[in-house]
Amino acid sequence: MDRARAIGRALIEVVPSVDLERMVQAALGGETRTGDVAFGAGGRERYYGVTAQPYDEGAMAIAADRTALLAAEKMRSDFIGNVSHELRTPLSAMKLMLETVLISEDDEEARALFLPQVQNEVERMIRLVEDLLELARSESAIVPLRQERFDLRDVAMSTVNTFGRRAAGLDIALQLDAPQAVEVNADRGELAQVVVNLVDNALRHTPGGGAVVVDVRRDEADAVLSVRDTGTGIPFTDLPRVFERFYVVDRSRSREAGGTGLGLAIAKHLVEAHGGSLTAESLYGRGATFTMRIPAAAVAEL
């Protein structure tokens, strides 16, 4: 700030913080104080680690911006809490069911009722661990990409064929709209995983009688793949957070739907590793559209 605006004025006039004012007043009285001080409000709020101490005949305050550090610490804490919850819930249920089977001795009915549920919970935990490992890999500084030239339509068609039977069983029309070739230089396996995550997510949130459309097209220098559904949609307040780890719009349906809450986070990291972007649009109650954009192969190479 301009020195002329600060000299001769009270500290709290220049830097409107009661906490900082108290720390400096204590330093002027001969004490050393340390702590975090918040400045601003809402999305512009920042946190500084401040040390205020006596200096010559006055006081000195040293401030270090800790906003990013505290945000990373909160993310780490939330992540550990989410993982613990996602593992503790099925483990507790499995323990109770197995104890029931054990005390039931030769009760065929108890085994027939509980053992399949135990198997389902084990499979869900395996998916969670696999997704955690994939997320850790995709978030690492270096994601090894085995680039090759291929038509993005092939990946989309393969995914649609893979999910065809499941979509039919759910009474959902799964369609591919890809009239022209869209060549890319990319990692086929990684992009296939992105499309699988997007289609799986769309099917899990679309009721029977609905539709899911996978669209592939070229938009100038970009190859664009979008997955559009007629499902439940995403509330406006939740839309900015759908790519966060473990973020679930409707937690009451998350376990029933079978998702781990990591698929979209993994997909976003994989797309960004290709120099692209993954975005979401939605009108609540009227479906959602997830759009992947990555650089297309140069036209001269076609």
- Nearest-angstrom CA–CA distance, 172 and 230: 10
Q: Which domain holds residue 280?
A: 147-301
CB–CB of 281/289 below 8 Å? yes
Residues 220 and 105 in one domain: no
Which of 139, 157, 187 finishes a domain?
139
Residues 205 and 289 in one domain: yes
Q: How many domains does the chain have?
A: 3
Residues 175 and 261 in one domain: yes
Q: Specify the pLDDT at position 150.
A: 94
Cβ contacts of 300 within 8 Å, gap of 6 or more: none
Residues 173 and 209 in one domain: yes
Residues 128 and 256 in one domain: no
Rounded to 5 degrees, φ, ψ at 218 are: -105, 135
Residues of the chain with pLDDT under 70: 41-43, 78-79, 81-82, 85-86, 131, 134-135, 137-143, 248-260, 300-302
Kindly report the CATH number assigned to the domain that includes residue 81. 1.10.287.130
Residues 135 and 151 in one domain: no
Q: Specify the pLDDT at position 59.
A: 93
Dihedral sign computed on CA atoms, order 45, 47, 53, 57: negative
- Nearest-angstrom CA–CA distance, 247 and 217: 30
Our CA angle for 140, 195, 180, nearest 5°, is: 125
Q: How many CB atoms lie within 10 A of CB 24?
A: 22
Going by DSSP bridges, is the β-strand pair 58-65/46-55 parallel, antiparallel, or unpaired? antiparallel
Kindly report the CATH number assigned to the domain that includes residue 201. 3.30.565.10
pTM: 0.60
Residues 258 and 178 in one domain: yes
Residues 154 and 135 in one domain: no
Going by DSSP bridges, is the β-strand pair 33-39/46-55 parallel, antiparallel, or unpaired? antiparallel
Which of 139, 166, 183 finishes a domain?
139
Residues 265 and 204 in one domain: yes
Which of 90, 110, 139 finishes a domain?
139
Residues 163 and 288 in one domain: yes
Residues 181 and 231 in one domain: yes
Residues 102 and 170 in one domain: no
